[in-house]
Structure 1
């Protein structure tokens, strides 16, 4: 058990949890920065979590849902107040409604996470600040201390699992819900480089091609929220088979996050919503793409096309042909 102490201060309205780990400081930080990893331990074993959003920058937000043994849902969120990688971040932690909006009927808490190197590895000090004595008692009575203890007891296993999250692992898709998947890959390059590669038309035409044998003659990139975009591909040999996608830029926070719609051009196929987040991790930049489909049938149909294989070919080309020469 990594937790070495839990201290409740009823006068200061705080609860402080100290945990020590054998892993290096940066490895521990990455476990909290990477949604694939933090969802392995943020919820207790009987209430595992799925993170549908995790943009770990000041002003960013995290949305997650913990699911109980009988299917009961407990959604929550973080609003990031401060991020100083890899030493400290601070959030406003709260409960959410089923539609993802803040549940203002329940208390929120300010939480600080302090990371430091130690002789044996690293230490995490988590301080939860409650608004009132009644809130402190209410949340403790709900099992907050026990829940944190059980959840953090899972971190060692995540820290030891380097292969599942390391640079060099192929593009992977995780099912988050009936309508959402998260596509993930660590790309060898900085956050700024990866963002630029997704927004410079000349760079995009070099790597965003899927399997060999394709060109990208249409690459109209949106600049401002509300702008439309259009991408189109055609076979290199001039044969039939051209296709494309169009959509709208809904949100943009360079170089960390953007949200777009996506629709296959000249079809009546339903649109998706795509949320791309870029996070600095050991070895490069973690690209997380959360795609929301209209229903599970469309989600499964798209996954069955081998979508991630084509994306992996493109990302490998991005590393080898674009970022390696940057």
Structure 2
């Protein structure tokens, strides 16, 4: 099928949230781009903690400076501002804040608040219009998604030697002055993905291991002084078709009622098609099972079918609907809410 200009733009939007960044400065080897989006969104659900307005704004910048012909410095900051609260209770949170250097084709090194190594694979299924990418990938949960204190080395094309082979090496420093579910000890992570020299098919794997804090080890659920995780995934992205799946396991890492699951097994899969006139339907499945939970045994922590669609009016404006069809039993032993959720919204981004 012949790909239209609109379809190409849409795929670019999907591939990178900052692809439409506005360049505000570019002179003498220094660049500064601004990007952001307004997501006007409403949830419909019998779950009162989710039902209602979910509007927010995200805003950030990406900067770059050419130090010499081989060395480049860079930095990124992004924040989110709530739009669903009264002005006296509005909240702001920092999503990204890191700086680093890149040396020619050898690789890049940065430090700060960024993405954990496990998310190199988990990101492939985090493509739903609103939900998804939430089983083993959790914010401030060791190195599974966005996290603080990350020192990250990334090399594309494996130091410029193997086309399509990308390597991540990562270290996370201890974070204890926070809620116990979001603490972590010192840890290390790595990821490797390969697209077979530029093909439309990609495979990847990731592994992380971290010390658990004293407070985490004192919880009623979750044993062991280490928190470990691994993930493997596949992705196909071509001819207006996007297909991806991911399987992961965690040990003493995933927060649950009363502490942490001794073990989890997670599976996510998504398939999408980009029509040339702007419509992108999505069908997906997510399941996470907790294993050997104290006082429970094995139990589903997350299980749902996701049906959604996004319509792109142009590169800056879109509308979406996403229906999370919960498959958890109403009498699940951990008391996890099993209500469906429908998300409706419009997005403006630049």
TM over 0.5: no
Identify the structure with the greater helix proportion: 1
TM interval, shorter chain, is under 0.3
Identify the structure with the greater strand proportion: 2
